[in-house]
Amino acid sequence: MFITRESDYAMRVIRALMWEPRLSVSEICKKESITAPFAYKILKKLQNAGLVEGYRGVHGGYALKRDPEELSLYEIYSAIDPDMSIIECLNGTYQCPRNGQDGVPCHAHDELQEIQDQLWTMLRRKSMKDLFGKEEK
C-alpha cells in the first residue's frame, strides 16, 4: 500500500500546523512525536508542493499555506509521493511485461486501476478541517 510512514507523518505535520499561526520544527516534533530529521524532510516536500511555508530567523518556523478546508489526505499524500499507486504497474512509468503481451491485456491491471481510482476519490472526499476540525490545541 502506498500510505507510507512518511505520508502518515506528513498528515500529522499538517494537523499540528492547523491550530497555530507558526510552529518551529521542534514544536511540531514534540506535538506529533516525529524526529527532527524526518520532519525536515517532510516539511521540504510539503513546502515544494505549496502546502506549507517556511520562515527563517529567530521567529522562524512553518505555517500552513493553504486553508485546511481545501486540503485533503490526497493532496498531502501526493505531495510526499507524487507517483503514489497501490501497485507498481499503475504508477505510469512502469512497463509491465505481461500487460498487452501477445495482444492479451492484463485484466488484473484494469481492476486494480478501478480500485486505485476509488481510493483516490475517498482520500479527496474530506478536508483536513472535516477530519480534525473539532480537535483543539
- Tens digits of residue pLDDT in 31-89: 999 999 999 999 999 999 999 999 998 888 999 999 999 999 999 999 998 878 887 77
Residue 103 lies in a domain: yes
- Tens digits of residue pLDDT in 110-130: 888 899 899 999 999 999 999
Residue 61 lies in a domain: yes
Residue 65 lies in a domain: yes
| Burial profile 44-69: b = 16 or more Cβ within 10 angstroms, e = fewer | ebbeebebbeeeeeeeebbebeeebe
CATH at 83: 1.10.10.10
Cβ atoms of residues 40 and 75 within 8 Å: no
Q: How many domains does the chain have?
A: 1
In the chain, DSSP finds a helix count (H) and a strand count (E) of: 6, 2
Cα 79 from Cα 39, distance rounded (Å): 14
Residue 39 lies in a domain: yes
Give the pLDDT confidence score for residue 86 in this predicted structure: 80
Percent of the chain residues topping a pLDDT of 70: 85
Query: Quick one: cell of 87?
Result: 501497485
- Tens digits of residue pLDDT in 15-41: 999 989 999 999 999 999 999 999 999
pTM: 0.84
> What phi and psi, each to the nearest 5 degrees, are found at residue 101?
-65, 130
Q: Which amino acid does the sequence have at 54?
A: G
Is pLDDT of 90 > 90? Answer: no
* Parent domain of 112: 5-132
Cα 40 from Cα 125, distance rounded (Å): 28
Question: Nearest 5°: CA angle at 94, between 81 and 119?
Answer: 50
Cβ atoms of residues 14 and 127 within 8 Å: no
Query: Quick one: cell of 98?
Result: 505481461
Cα 61 from Cα 104, distance rounded (Å): 54
Cβ atoms of residues 28 and 78 within 8 Å: no
Residue 137 lies in a domain: no
Residue 79 lies in a domain: yes
